[in-house]
């Protein structure tokens, strides 16, 4: 009788932390355009689609939806899930629901695995950091999924025996490694280790005995097929993917076989477009195959406990053939062949030295706040997970702090723990993975180091000078950067956020929100307007008054007097002064307002220079998203002027452009720029008119498109696709019990026609979901009349959905 056969597909879903460490939010990333940032982009391309992956028929129409996470093994990075909880809660809900469903199918064994907290390379971490990384990962998992994890993913599968000990000590039952990480293996009970040859058999579970007397189960994924999925385009063809998985079984094996692969989860939709659909196809086919069983690691371990044991290569990983050298030396692993990585070792050394200093500060000053500072750090994840709960810190300090803590000591406790959080985050593995020390991933790690150094200064300890000296030994591949110190001075320090910058940001921003509330939130800071007056003069503005700010993360607080003079355009002059006498300020304010009302701006600035000294702040000091918003407001009139000029030029030169096109003559850049801007704008205007239900004609869209085609106009396809997709989503959300279904369908149909006319292909994934959800909600709440059913069925067909998905017949 043939032994049972199982298949498990594991996805490691992870993104580097991207938030501004001081603000606790992800700022706009231009490289991710037209999306706000890379988390948002990849969620739209991968994480979201895998919650409702498409299964299609022979005509390419969608016949079913599959939550891939409910049928595959997966882990998500805790820092990514933290972002998702705020920015993509529907996607997170689908992921959590998938784990719940998998528990029902797999005898209580869920598909989700935990992950060490911030993707730190555990073999290179200190013993204390190993423990905290594991405990924080488990706590985050427990909060998201409502259960304890059975397994945990190690960053880059990097492993050594102490790391396995940390997992086992925390109650983790298993982890997944690359086959090359197995050193030797034998059947349980054998006295000697046979010579390892041919590579480990990946189809079974293995027991790793640890020096402490504990043990942990290890699974070694199929390296060849995993490689083909990740890097050899196996996901281009679902049938080929399925066939290759079946080939992973071996008839010569005389035991229950687990055919399992592990790759970055982003393979399924981000690295490989439509990879989520290929995965769904495979999972659906496997779920109907009586000869194999889809499983996860926890279920397989329960059904088939290890009969073999294994020892691993110390300091090994899945993405560096040299072990863990990629994260501490110029080992030769690179993504760009002409750049060196000699900076990796000095960067690691500088951060290690800084970490020792930060740990010593935490250990010594922490004793003034906690009976056991390191136990407090292990538990601090509970505060991080409850940032918005004002009582969370109090509960934490009542449990882990000294019983007689005063307010100052409580603030010190919070600051020390935040310092430790950043001290671990600065070792996130992505900082060493790529080829250049000035890359965004390494700069992110250095930003965490900068914030930890800033907090240490609150305890009269300044580690910056020595740290930057260490960075001087880390050479850059870019001449103008020179070395790690250049990265620090050019890219890290200018990004620093302190209360002064928060004040400047708030002061300049309020000019464009004069009716704002007296208190406001600036990311992780609370800012209160204590006494503010604003004035407008032509295109300029003046704001003057007093502000109070407080960090929610460190309780650092301050007050300041301020003034902002906006001269018009992008020219701002903001000054802060917290040393002026209150009576002197009131007198100054009266004279300033009078001068602004009746005098020249030269008189105003002379008064400011003489009586209100301080460092000047400008638009550069605003945080990026708000800076973009204000630039957009300030330049709106200028843009209108340009557009009027472009329209005039485009109309005037239309005949010339057509003639040049007919002659196949390269259109001069100025002519092309003006005409392209004209068509871009009017195409977007027509899309807006269609969405609003205003009088509009597809003929107008078509004539615009044809007008540009004559001379080779190329639309901004990616931007138009996003505009059309979001317009369609908003339109379909209007499909409710009180809506006119014909009117909604007409607008949606016009938007689909517009996509066809402009030859763009918006991502309709979300629009399809909205249509299905709205229709199902209507069916549950009221009878579906023939008109509504016909309208929705027609729209479903146009969106590529098989109308049978609606579950309704006229």
Domains annotated for the chain, with CATH where assigned, are 5-189+199-325 (3.20.110.20), 342-495 (no CATH), 499-622 (no CATH), 656-806 (no CATH)
More confident residue, 790 or 526: 526
| Per-residue pLDDT band at 785 (split at 50, 70, 90) | confident
Q: How far is CA 636 from CA 34, 485, 644, 677, 722, in A?
A: 20, 39, 12, 15, 22
Q: How far apart are CA 23 and CA 524, in angstroms?
A: 5
Would you state the pLDDT for residue 273?
A: 93
Phi then psi for residue 751, to 5 deg, are -65, -40
Would you state the pLDDT for residue 519?
A: 58
- Non-local (6+) Cβ contacts of 180 within 8 A are 199, 223, 313, 316, 318, 321
Q: What is the pLDDT of residues 215-236, one digit of tens each?
A: 999 999 999 999 999 999 999 9
Q: What is the pLDDT of residues 552-570, one digit of tens each?
A: 999 999 999 999 999 988 9
Taking phi over 0 as left and psi of -120 to 50 as alpha, with beta for the rest, 308 belongs to beta
Give the β-pairing of 525-537 and 540-551: antiparallel
Instruction: State mean pLDDT over 346-367.
Output: 98
- Across-strand partners of 182? 312
SS3 label, residue 537: strand
Would you state the pLDDT for residue 397?
A: 96
Q: Which helix (H) or strand (E) holds 687?
A: helix 669-692
Q: Which of 307-311, 574-578, 602-606, 642-646 has the least mean pLDDT? A: 642-646
Q: How far apart are CA 46 and CA 76, in angstroms?
A: 13
Instruction: State mean pLDDT over 72-83.
Output: 98
Would you state the pLDDT for residue 8?
A: 98
Give the β-pairing of 519-522 and 616-617: unpaired
Q: What is the pLDDT of residues 363-377, one digit of tens each?
A: 999 999 999 999 999
Percent of the chain having pLDDT more than 70?
Answer: 98
Instruction: State mean pLDDT over 91-115.
Output: 98
Q: How far apart are CA 334 and CA 331, in angstroms?
A: 8
Question: Would you say residue 518 has pLDDT above 60?
Answer: no
Would you state the pLDDT for residue 571?
A: 92
Q: Which of 122-136, 347-361, 594-608 has the least mean pLDDT? A: 594-608
Would you state the pLDDT for residue 649?
A: 66
The tokens for 476 are 């850059």
- Non-local (6+) Cβ contacts of 798 within 8 A are 749, 752
Q: How far apart are CA 799 and CA 271, in angstroms?
A: 24
Question: Would you say residue 395 has pLDDT above 70?
Answer: yes
567 within 8 A of 601, measured Cβ to Cβ: yes
| Per-residue pLDDT band at 515 (split at 50, 70, 90) | low
Longest dimension (CA), the chain: 99
Question: Would you say residue 804 has pLDDT above 90?
Answer: no
Q: How far apart are CA 662 and CA 654, in angstroms?
A: 12
Give the β-pairing of 257-264 and 5-13: parallel
Instruction: State mean pLDDT over 18-22.
Output: 96
Q: Which of 459-468, 489-498, 631-640, 771-780 has the least mean pLDDT? A: 631-640
Q: What is the pLDDT of residues 307-349, one digit of tens each?
A: 999 999 999 999 999 999 999 999 998 888 789 999 999 999 9
Print burial letters for 655-666: b (CB count within 10 Å at least 16), e (below 16).
Answer: eebeebbeeeee
How many other CB atoms sit within 10 Å of the CB of residue 66? 21
How many other CB atoms sit within 10 Å of the CB of residue 632? 10
- With tokens 């926890």, the residue in question is 298
The tokens for 208 are 């790793």
- Non-local (6+) Cβ contacts of 374 within 8 A are 128, 132, 363
Q: What count of Cα atoms within 13 Å lies in the side-chain half-sphere of residue 215?
A: 14
- Non-local (6+) Cβ contacts of 262 within 8 A are 10, 11, 12, 176, 221, 226, 318
| Per-residue pLDDT band at 1 (split at 50, 70, 90) | low
Would you state the pLDDT for residue 780?
A: 77
224 within 8 A of 202, measured Cβ to Cβ: no
484 within 8 A of 471, measured Cβ to Cβ: yes
- Non-local (6+) Cβ contacts of 802 within 8 A are 57, 61, 62, 63, 796
524 within 8 A of 47, measured Cβ to Cβ: no
Q: Taking all residues of the chain, what is their mean pLDDT, rounded to a whole number? A: 92
Q: How far apart are CA 32 and CA 270, in angstroms?
A: 12
Nearest in space to 474 (alpha carbons), one of 354, 357, 352, 349 = 349
Q: How far apart are CA 727 and CA 56, in angstroms?
A: 25
Question: Would you say residue 789 has pLDDT above 90?
Answer: no
Give the β-pairing of 293-294 and 308-312: unpaired
Question: Would you say residue 356 has pLDDT above 70?
Answer: yes
More confident residue, 653 or 394: 394
Instruction: State mean pLDDT over 510-522.
Output: 71
How big is the chain, counted in residues?
810
Would you state the pLDDT for residue 58?
A: 84
Rounded CA Rg of the chain: 30
Instruction: State mean pLDDT over 244-255.
Output: 96
Percent of the chain having pLDDT more than 90?
Answer: 73
Q: How far apart are CA 672 and CA 346, in angstroms?
A: 49
SS3 label, residue 346: helix
Print burial letters for 773-800: b (CB count within 10 Å at least 16), e (below 16).
Answer: ebbeebbeeeebeeebbbbbbebbeebe
Q: How far apart are CA 76 and CA 622, in angstroms?
A: 32
For 454-491, the DSSP string reads HHHHTTT---HHHHHHHHTTSB-SSTTT-BHHHHIIII
Question: Would you say residue 514 has pLDDT above 60?
Answer: no
């Amino acid at each position: 009788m043939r032994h049972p056969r199982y298949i498990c597909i594991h996805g490691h879903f992870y993104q580097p932390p991207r938030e501004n460490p001081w603000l606790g939010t992800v700022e706009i990333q231009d490289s991710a355009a037209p999306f706000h940032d890379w988390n948002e982009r990849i969620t739209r391309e991968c994480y979201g689609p895998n919650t409702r992956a498409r299964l299609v028929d022979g005509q390419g129409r969608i016949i079913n939806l599959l939550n891939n996470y409910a049928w595959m093994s997966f882990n998500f990075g805790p820092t990514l899930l933290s972002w998702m909880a705020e920015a993509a809660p529907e996607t997170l809900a689908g992921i959590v629901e998938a784990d719940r469903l998998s528990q029902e199918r797999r005898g209580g064994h869920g598909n989700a695995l935990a992950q060490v907290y911030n993707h730190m390379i555990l073999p290179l971490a200190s013993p204390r950091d190993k423990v905290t990384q594991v405990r924080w990962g488990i706590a985050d998992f427990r909060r998201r999924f409502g259960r304890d994890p059975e397994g945990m993913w190690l960053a880059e599968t990097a492993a050594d025996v102490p790391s396995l000990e940390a997992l086992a000590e925390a109650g983790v039952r298993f982890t997944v490694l690359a086959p090359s990480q197995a050193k030797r293996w034998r059947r349980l009970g054998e006295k000697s280790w046979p010579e390892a040859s041919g590579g480990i058999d990946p189809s079974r579970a293995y027991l790793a005995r640890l020096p402490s007397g504990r043990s942990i189960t290890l699974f070694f994924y199929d390296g060849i097929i995993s490689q083909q999925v990740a890097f050899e385009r196996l996901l281009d063809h679902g049938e080929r993917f399925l066939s290759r998985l079946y080939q992973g079984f071996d008839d010569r094996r005389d035991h229950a076989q687990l055919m399992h692969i592990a790759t970055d989860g982003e393979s399924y939709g981000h690295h490989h477009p439509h990879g989520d659909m290929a995965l769904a196809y495979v999972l659906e086919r496997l779920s109907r195959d009586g000869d194999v069983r889809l499983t996860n690691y926890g279920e397989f371990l329960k059904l088939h406990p290890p009969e073999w044991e294994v020892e691993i290569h110390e300091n090994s990983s899945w993405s560096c053939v040299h072990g863990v050298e990629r994260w501490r030396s110029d080992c030769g692993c690179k993504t760009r062949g002409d750049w060196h990585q000699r900076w990796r070792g000095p960067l690691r050394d500088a951060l290690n030295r800084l970490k020792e200093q930060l740990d010593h500060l935490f250990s010594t000053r922490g004793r003034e706040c906690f009976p056991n500072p390191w136990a407090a750090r292990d538990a601090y994840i509970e505060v991080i997970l409850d940032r918005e709960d004002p009582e969370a810190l109090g509960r934490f300090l009542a449990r882990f702090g000294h019983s007689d803590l005063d307010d100052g000591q409580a603030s010190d406790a919070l600051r020390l723990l935040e310092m430790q959080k950043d001290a671990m985050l600065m070792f996130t593995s992505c900082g060493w993975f790529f080829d250049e020390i000035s890359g965004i991933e390494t700069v992110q790690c250095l930003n965490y180091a900068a914030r930890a150094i800033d907090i240490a200064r609150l305890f009269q300890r300044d580690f910056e000078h020595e740290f930057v000296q260490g960075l001087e030994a880390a050479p850059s591949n870019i001449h103008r950067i020179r070395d790690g110190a250049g990265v620090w001075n050019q890219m890290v320090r200018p990004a620093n956020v302190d209360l002064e910058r928060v004040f400047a940001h708030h002061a300049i921003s309020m000019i464009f929100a004069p009716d704002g509330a007296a208190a406001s939130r600036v990311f992780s800071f609370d800012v209160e307007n204590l006494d503010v007056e604003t004035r407008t003069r032509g295109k300029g503005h003046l704001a003057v008054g007093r502000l109070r700010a407080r960090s929610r993360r460190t309780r650092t607080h301050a007050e300041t007097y301020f003034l902002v003079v906006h001269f018009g355009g992008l020219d701002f002059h903001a000054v802060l002064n917290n040393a002026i006498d209150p009576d002197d300020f009131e007198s100054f304010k009266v004279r300033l307002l009078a001068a602004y009302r009746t005098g020249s701006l030269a008189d105003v600035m002379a008064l400011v220079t003489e009586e209100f000294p301080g460092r000047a702040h400008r638009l550069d000091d605003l945080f990026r998203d708000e800076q973009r918003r204000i630039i957009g407001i300030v330049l709106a009139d200028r843009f209108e002027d340009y557009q009027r000029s472009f329209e005039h030029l485009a109309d005037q030169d239309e005949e010339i452009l057509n003639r040049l096109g007919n002659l196949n003559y390269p259109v001069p850049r100025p002519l092309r720029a003006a005409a392209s801007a004209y068509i871009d704008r009017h195409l977007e205007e027509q899309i807006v008119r269609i969405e609003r239900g205003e009088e509009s004609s597809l003929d107008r869209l078509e004539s615009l498109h044809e007008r540009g085609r004559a001379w080779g106009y190329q639309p901004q396809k990616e931007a138009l696709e996003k505009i059309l997709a979001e317009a369609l989503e908003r339109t379909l959300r209007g499909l409710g019990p009180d809506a006119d279904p014909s009117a909604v369908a007409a607008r949606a149909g016009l938007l689909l026609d517009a996509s066809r006319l402009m030859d763009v292909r918006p991502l309709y994934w979300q629009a399809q979901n909205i249509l299905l959800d709205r229709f199902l909600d209507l069916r549950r709440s009221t009878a579906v009349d023939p008109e509504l059913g016909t309208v929705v069925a027609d729209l479903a067909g146009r969106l590529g959905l098989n109308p049978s998905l609606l579950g309704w017949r006229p």
